């Protein structure tokens, strides 16, 4: 499982606070399968208060899908309590607004669409269900007789670092050793992780083919 943060950056004009209507907010994401590396062109919506069940009795999750190319079953979960606010002081800087826990899949792009709540400065007007599909959003705050706006919006997807150290137990034909990585978790699922394990094993004079990674 990998934790991925979604960050946004925008310039706020006379806006105090921008939030999503979570847990009802629909996060529209494009996903990449770590099994085959394929990015699906479809935008998938993921909502915190909507859950779907695994077939084999494993706990339910916010998003579950089988990759069309490699048939791997991948899932994604919105980490509870990670929904953040974008405030006037954050203007012009990237800030994390949600964290996803990903299994076999990673979001690669985000489309903000509708469902945002915007509050103007100076105890001004509250705008609900704002649509941020366009890069610029401008409204008139009648309480303060001023225009308010969100512009130059960008988003990026970042790997959450400084995650607790976990252990990859690597069994060799003759002996067992533990390799401790500062990255999180389990089996190496993508090429970068496999390369990392290969580099770790290189000084031990082992090749990729003679070990099995277990949880």
Which positions lie near Zn ion, rule CB under 5 A? Answer: 33, 35-36, 67, 69-70
Least distance CB 190 / Zn ion (angstroms):
11
Closer residue to Zn ion, CB minimum distance, 69 or 192: 69
Least separation in angstroms between residue 185's CB and Zn ion is 19
3-state secondary structure of 205: coil
Q: Give the torsion sign (CA, 158, 162, 163, 166).
A: positive
Closest separation between CB of residue 192 and Zn ion, Å? 16
In the chain the beta strands, taken as DSSP E runs, fall at 2-13, 15-20, 26-33, 44-47, 63-66, 73-78, 86-87, 95-103, 105-111, 116-120, 126-130, 137-141, 146-159, 166-171, 176-181, 212-214
- Shortest distance (Å) from residue 31 CB to Zn ion: 10
SS3 88: helix
Judged by CB, which is closer to Zn ion: 34, or 82? 34
Backbone angles phi, psi at 116, to 5 degrees: -100, 150
Cβ nearer to Zn ion, comparing 29 with 201? 29
Output 1 or 70, the one with its CB closest to Zn ion.
70
Min. distance of Cβ 104 from Zn ion in angstroms?
8
- Count CA atoms closer than 13 A to 133's CA, side-chain side: 5
Three-class SS state of 204: helix
- Measured from the CB atom, the residue of 46 and 170 that comes closer to Zn ion is 46
- For β-strands 212-214 and 166-171, DSSP reports them as antiparallel
């Amino acid at each position: 499982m990998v934790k991925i943060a979604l960050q946004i950056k925008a310039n706020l004009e006379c806006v105090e606070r921008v939030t999503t209507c979570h847990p009802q907010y629909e996060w529209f994401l494009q996903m990449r399968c770590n099994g085959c590396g394929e990015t699906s062109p479809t935008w998938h919506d993921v909502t915190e208060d909507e859950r779907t069940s695994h077939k084999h009795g494993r706990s339910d999750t916010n998003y579950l899908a089988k990759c069309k190319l490699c048939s791997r079953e991948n899932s994604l979960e919105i980490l509870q309590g990670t929904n953040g606010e974008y405030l006037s002081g954050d203007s012009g800087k990237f800030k994390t607004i949600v964290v996803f826990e990903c299994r076999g899949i990673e979001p690669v792009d985000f489309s903000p669409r509708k469902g945002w709540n915007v509050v103007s400065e100076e105890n001004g007007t509250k705008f609900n269900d704002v649509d941020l599909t366009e890069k610029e959003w401008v409204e008139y705050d009648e309480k303060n007789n001023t225009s308010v706006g969100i512009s130059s919006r960008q988003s990026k997807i970042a790997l959450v670092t400084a995650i607790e150290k976990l252990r990859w137990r690597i069994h060799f034909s003759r002996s067992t050793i533990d390799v401790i990585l500062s990255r999180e978790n389990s089996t190496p699922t993508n090429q970068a992780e496999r390369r990392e394990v290969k580099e770790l094993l290189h000084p031990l004079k082992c090749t990729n083919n003679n070990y099995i990674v277990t949880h």
